[in-house]
């Protein structure tokens, strides 16, 4: 008998599956690939009205703010928890270097996010949370390649459990972007209305103790020199999923190590620990959402580390009496960083009404990614210094 043709075999298999009136096995429940257990502790106060300052009329279309979309009344927060994979990100030099003036310090405080904090990239799961009641994330997929750092031979992803008030009731943690860092042509597709309020997280910053979910493929030894939320002095994570603990390091130690080209060690190596997913991640939360944690709901427009410079316009764009700003030196690395002399830069912090902190950098000369570029994009020959320019024009 001749061999059955491939398409006949497929048709016969399909007939066998449906011969009894319905497909066999397709209605069976799907078992999660992994489960992660969390417990939120604390007592949350009744929420008050949404502050009108949370919504900036210049950044959010008034049509986005709907009485049914933003909870403007009283009642308990709609607490949820999101398991969020982190982004590899570097702070820009202005934000991480010691401020050179009180004005620069004020801009850093208002416009720079925490230099060593956790930066969200993508949420893997999102569940409702009740303080004091254990809850479980069901994971049905592995972390995608774009949330992992390394190559196919060795790569790792880290996640934080973020507890938040779902203020627009859409059932997800809405990640927003720094509005005023956007380049020309970039879409603005952030969710409208009041931003979600973050109450706590298992991994807030490398300068604080943390518990993070890790997923490792390959040999971690190839990743030890990668500055991706490092835990120097802790044991290597095991392959696949695990829960890692770390004690954190000081910002001063991180700056000193950065100048040496090294990664800072943990202040307290005894705080390092490794657990399986059978363990429970406990997250204490305060009665009110701390303002300092708001940036955990803010992602970035890129992987950071490079300042985007803009040409100082002929006419003033801002009434500087209403903004936090400073004149600051331009960070210069090396002795051959470009031709010509440069004046100071003007740095302006985002307003308090912006959900995500950011800074704007204006120069009289330079290129978008390099103020010391040999062939500057601006100014055009013969362009005078703008009359409103508040900073030094001398090198």
Sign of CA dihedral 51, 52, 58, 61: positive
User: Who wins on pLDDT, 22 or 197?
Assistant: 197
- Quickly state the pLDDT bin for 6 (edges 50, 70, 90): very low
More confident residue, 55 or 92: 92
Residue 68 pLDDT: 34
> What is the predicted pLDDT for the residue at 108?
96
Is the pLDDT at 112 greater than 50? The verdict is yes
376's tokens: 């500057």
Of 48-57, 93-102, 120-129, 313-322, minimum mean pLDDT range: 48-57
* Structure confidence at residue 173 (pLDDT): 96
Residues 6 or more apart whose CB falls under 8 angstroms from that of 6 comprise: none
Query: What is the tens place of the pLDDT at every residue in 19-54?
Result: 444 445 556 678 999 999 999 999 888 654 444 334
Give kind and range of the element (H or E) at residue 131: none
State residue 9's pLDDT score.
39
Q: What pTM was estimated for this model as a whole?
A: 0.82
Could you report the per-residue pLDDT of 151-180, keeping only the tens digit for each?
989 999 999 999 999 998 999 999 998 876
Q: For the chain, where are the E strands, in sequence order?
A: 34-41, 79-86, 120-128, 135-139, 149-151, 154-165, 197-201, 210-218, 240-246, 273-275, 280-284, 309-311, 325-328, 345-349, 359-363
Q: Confidence class of residue 242 from pLDDT cuts 50, 70 and 90?
A: very high
Q: What mean pLDDT is reported for the chain?
A: 82
Average pLDDT (124-132) is 96
Domain boundaries, the chain: 34-44+74-91+115-183+192-297
| pLDDT per residue as tens digits for the range 67-93 | 333 343 345 789 999 999 999 988 888
The answer, yes or no, to whether residue 211 has pLDDT greater than 80, is yes
Residue 81's CB is within 10 A of a number of other CB atoms, namely 26
Q: What is the pLDDT of residues 351-384, one digit of tens each?
A: 988 889 999 999 999 998 888 888 999 998 888 9
pLDDT-derived band at 131 (thresholds 50, 70, 90) equals very high
């Amino acid at each position: 008998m001749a061999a059955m043709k491939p398409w006949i075999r497929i048709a016969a298999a399909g007939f066998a599956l449906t011969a009894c009136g319905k497909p066999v096995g397709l209605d069976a429940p799907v078992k999660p690939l992994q489960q992660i257990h969390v417990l939120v502790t604390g007592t949350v106060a009744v929420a008050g009205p949404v502050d009108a300052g949370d919504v900036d009329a210049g950044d959010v279309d008034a049509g986005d703010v709907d009485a049914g979309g933003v909870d403007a009344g009283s009642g308990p927060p709609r607490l949820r928890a999101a398991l969020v994979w982190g982004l590899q990100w570097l702070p820009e030099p202005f934000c991480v270097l010691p401020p050179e003036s009180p004005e620069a310090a004020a801009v850093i405080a208002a416009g720079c996010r925490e230099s060593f904090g956790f930066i969200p990239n993508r949420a893997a799961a999102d569940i409702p949370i009740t303080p004091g009641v254990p809850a479980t994330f069901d994971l049905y997929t592995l972390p995608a390649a774009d949330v992992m750092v390394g190559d196919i031979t060795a790569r790792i992803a880290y996640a934080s459990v973020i507890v938040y008030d779902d203020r627009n009731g859409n059932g997800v943690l809405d990640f927003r972007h720094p509005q005023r860092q956007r380049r020309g042509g970039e879409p603005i597709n952030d969710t409208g209305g009041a931003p979600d309020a973050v109450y706590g997280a298992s991994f807030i910053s490398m300068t604080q103790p943390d518990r993070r979910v890790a997923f490792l493929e390959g040999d971690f030894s190839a990743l030890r020199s990668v500055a991706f939320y490092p835990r120097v002095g802790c044991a290597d994570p095991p392959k696949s999923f695990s829960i890692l603990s770390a004690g954190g390091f000081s910002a001063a130690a991180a700056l000193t190590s950065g100048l040496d080209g090294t990664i800072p060690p943990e202040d307290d190596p005894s705080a390092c620990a490794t657990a399986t997913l059978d363990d429970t991640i406990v997250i204490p939360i305060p009665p009110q959402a701390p303002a300092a944690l708001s940036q955990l709901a803010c992602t970035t427009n890129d992987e950071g580390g490079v300042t985007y410079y803009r040409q100082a316009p002929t006419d003033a764009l801002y009434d500087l009496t209403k903004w936090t700003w400073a004149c600051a030196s331009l960070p210069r690395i090396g002795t051959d960083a470009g031709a010509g002399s440069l004046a100071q830069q003007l740095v302006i912090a985002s307003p308090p009404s912006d959900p995500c902190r950011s800074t704007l950098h204006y120069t009289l000369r330079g290129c978008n990614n390099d103020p010391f570029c040999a062939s500057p994009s601006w100014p055009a020959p013969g362009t005078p210094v703008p009359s409103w320019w508040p900073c030094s024009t001398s090198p």
